[in-house]
Amino acid sequence: MKRTRIVLVLVFCLIFTCQINSQEISRNSIALSNVTIIDVENSQQLESMTIIIEKDKILSIRPSDSVDLKGIANKIDLKGNYVIPGLIDSHVHLFRPKNRKEILTQLFYSGITSVRDMGGDARVYQSLNNEIKQNTLLGPDIYYSANVFGSKFLKDPRTKFANLGYEPGTAPWMRLIEDTSDIEKIVLDAKEAGVTGLKVYSNISPKLLTKISEIAHENGLKMWSHSSIFPSKPSDAVNAKVDVLSHSIGMIFEKESEMPDSFGEAIRNFIPLQDFKNTNSLDSEFIKLFQKMKSNSIIFEPTLLAWNLKFRPQKPKPKEKAKNKNPTQHLSSAANKMDVAAMDDWAKRITKAAYKNGVVIAVGTDFNQDVKWVQDEIELLTECGLKNIDAIKAATLNNAKVIGIEDMYGSISEGKVANLVVLSENPLEKIQNIRNVLSVFKNGIEYKANE
C-alpha cells in the first residue's frame, strides 16, 4: 500500500510538472531546433539540441528528438549551425571615440552583447545604456568602472579629459584616493554613479590597496586592478584580493624589488629597461603568483591586442601628430621607445604560463580609439596555448565572472538571459569560425547579421 502511494505521488508530480511546462511554453516562445550548442560550462558540444526561449530567458534545453514543438509559432531550424553564448569584451574605452554609437552597433552585430568599460565619464555610459534599454540604440549592455588613483596620477591628462564640470580627481568616476581619504564615501559616491567596480590605476600603496578592496567588496562593488599599480606590484594586488588583474606587460614587475611610485614614471623610466626578451615566465616568482591567483579565484586579463604587432596602429605622420589632441599621446610616445616585439612575445609567454598554472583567463581588447575585436583576442589566446573551448569560455562565462553577472549571463543554460550568437561553422574545429555570425540574440530577440 505504501509503495502504491509513493508511485501515485510521483505520477502526480510528473503530470503537474508537465502541465506547468506546457503553460510556460507559450505560442510566442521561440524554438531553436537541431542546433549544436557550444557548452562552455562543461567544455563540450551538444549536438541536435533544441533551445526554447520564453520572453528574454532560456526556458529549456533538450535533445531535439525529445521535444514537442506543437503550438510554438516561431520555430527556427538551425541544423548544421552552432550556438555560442553572447560574447563579452571585458576591457573597452568608449568615452574617447566620437562615433561611439556606430561602434556599439558594429560590436553588437559581431556577436558582442556586453562590454566592461574601464575608464571614462559615467554620464556618457548612463546615457548610452538608457538608449540601449529603450531600443533607440542597438548595442551591447555597458558595465563601467570608477577609476581611482593616487596624487601623482593627477598629472595625467585623462584625469581632466573625463572630468568636465569637476576639479580633477573629484568626479565620482575619476577619483583621487589618499591615506587620509574617506574611502567609504568615495566608494558609495561611485556606486551612486552606477559603476559595477573600481578600477585601481596608479600610485596606490599596498596597504591602501587592501583597504580600498575591502571597502569596495563590503559595498557590493568589484575590484579591478592593473597588474602593477605602482608602487604596488602584482602580488600586492593579489594579496589585496582584487577580482581581476589586467595587462600581461605589468606582470614582469613581480620580480622588481623596488617599484616606481607612479604609472608615468614607470612608462618613462622603468618599462623600457625591463628585459622582456630574456625573463622566464616560469620563474618561481611568477609560479607563486599564479598559485595565489588560482587559490583566490583572481582572473587574469592579458589584453594581448594592446601589444600585438599585427594589430598595433601605424605611427601617425608628423602633421597628424601636431593636430592630434589625444589624451593618451604620451603613452604612444613612450611606447615608440620600447621593444614592442619583445613585449608582445612576453605577453604571450606570461599568458601561456598563467593558463598552464590554472589561472582563469578573461578576454579584453583595451580599445580606446581604433576598434579592436574580441574575436582577434580570442584567436591570440589560442596562439598562447588555450584550447578553442577555453578561449571561447574566456570571452563568455569568464568575462561574465569578471563583471559579476555569471548567474544570468555567459553560458547557454536554463534560466539565463537568452544572449546567443548563431554561427555557420564550428569554432571548436577552427577558431576563426567564431567570426561567421548568422544572427545575434539579445534578451531573446533575434537580429540577423546582415540587417
Residue 315 confidence (pLDDT): 55
Confidence of residue 322 (pLDDT cuts 50, 70, 90): very low
Residue 324 confidence (pLDDT): 44
Q: Say what the alpha-carbon torsion angle 122, 367, 394, 303 is, to the nearest 10 degrees.
A: -120
Res 386 pLDDT > 50: yes
Residue 334 confidence (pLDDT): 58
- Average per-residue pLDDT in the chain? 91
Side chain identity, residue 352: K
Confidence of residue 24 (pLDDT cuts 50, 70, 90): low
Grid cell of 332 as nine digits: 604612444
Distance from C-alpha of 276 to C-alpha of 270, rounded to nearest angstrom: 12
Distance from C-alpha of 149 to C-alpha of 144, rounded to nearest angstrom: 16
Residue 7 confidence (pLDDT): 43
b/e code 70-109 from CB counts within 10 Å (16+ = b): eebeeebebeebbbbbbbbbbbbbbbbbeebbebbeebbb
- For the segment 329-366, what is each residue's pLDDT rounded down to a tens digit? 555 555 667 899 999 999 999 999 999 999 999 999 99
Neighbouring C-beta atoms of residue 331, cutoff 10 Å: 16
Residue 8 confidence (pLDDT): 44
Handedness of CA 105, 110, 112, 116 (dihedral sign): negative
Residue 10 confidence (pLDDT): 44
Grid cell of 431 as nine digits: 577558431
Q: Which residue has the cell 580606446?
A: 368
- For the segment 408-420, what is each residue's pLDDT rounded down to a tens digit? 999 999 999 999 9
Res 27 pLDDT > 80: no
3-state secondary structure of 222: strand
Question: For the chain, percent helix, then strand, then coil, each to nearest 5?
Answer: 40, 20, 40
Alpha helices (H) along 145-302: 158-161, 183-192, 206-218, 234-239, 263-265, 284-295
